[in-house]
């Protein structure tokens, strides 16, 4: 505490009633208000005490949990460096003028994805009072036609978690949708590797392939229906 006495030395006698000492922090701050008038001195004293307590605790944890021997002079040097860095940064930031960014009010309209692409819009809603949250996912094609979607109630820790959950569910839904839409190609590949796929399956698809195409909402080639 030698540096403290150098910066804010005084010969005041403190007369404090026992009942008035509700907590150490309130007692100490009241002393600061009474005897330390300069703002710079107050900042220096508070920073010194705060970083000293934090540094002692950190060194104590290092000694106990990491089983390291603490060199006192090195520990003091680290604490002093932290204090100096904090005060220098605080002084540098005080010269900056922060201008809050004003967000322009504008309406957001849905924009279509490129041709033959789909667009996934996701959002989450969160109630901090009880942790209840919900998500919504909408999938549309480049014409704006609704392809699929989902809504679900979830439990989340924050609005950010709810929105992240919505994005994850949107990706999962898109992957599931693509797998279903890829069932015809999967059938052709599996039949080919087992040498069960006929050579003219494009113009004359087997009934099993036609069933998959119909399930996907697609029509078989006209030659199938002529037969």
The pLDDT tens digits of the residues spanning 24-48 come to 777 777 777 777 878 888 888 888 9
List, in sequence order, every residue forming a beta bridge with 41; answer none if it has no partner: none
Question: What pLDDT is stored for residue 216 in this prediction?
Answer: 59
Length of the chain: 227
pLDDT category, 227, cuts 50, 70, 90? very low
pLDDT category, 180, cuts 50, 70, 90? low
Tokens of 154: 């979830």
The secondary structure element, H or E, covering residue 136 is strand 132-141
Contact 158, 126 (CB under 8 A): yes
Taking the model in full, what pTM does it have? 0.39
* Distance from C-alpha of 193 to C-alpha of 207, rounded to nearest angstrom: 19
């Amino acid at each position: 505490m030698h540096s403290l006495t150098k910066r804010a030395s005084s010969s005041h006698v403190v007369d404090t009633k026992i009942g008035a000492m509700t907590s150490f922090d309130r007692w100490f701050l009241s002393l600061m208000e009474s005897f330390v008038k300069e703002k710079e001195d107050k900042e220096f004293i508070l920073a010194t005490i705060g970083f000293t307590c934090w540094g002692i605790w950190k060194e104590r944890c290092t000694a106990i949990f990491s089983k390291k021997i603490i060199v006192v002079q090195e520990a003091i040097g680290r604490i002093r460096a932290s204090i100096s860095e904090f005060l220098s940064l605080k002084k540098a930031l005080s010269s900056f003028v922060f201008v809050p960014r004003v967000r322009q009010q504008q309406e957001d309209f849905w924009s279509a994805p490129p041709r033959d692409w789909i667009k996934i819009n996701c959002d989450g809603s969160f109630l901090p009072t009880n942790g209840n949250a919900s998500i919504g996912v909408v999938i549309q094609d480049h014409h704006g036609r609704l392809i699929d979607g989902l809504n679900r109630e979830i439990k989340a820790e924050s609005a950010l978690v709810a929105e992240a959950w919505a994005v994850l569910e949107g990706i999962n839904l898109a992957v599931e949708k693509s797998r279903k839409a890829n069932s015809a190609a999967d059938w052709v590949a599996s039949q080919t590797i087992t040498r069960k796929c006929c050579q003219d399956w494009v113009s004359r698809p087997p009934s099993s392939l036609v069933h998959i195409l119909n399930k996907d909402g697609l029509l078989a080639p006209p030659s199938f229906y002529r037969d």
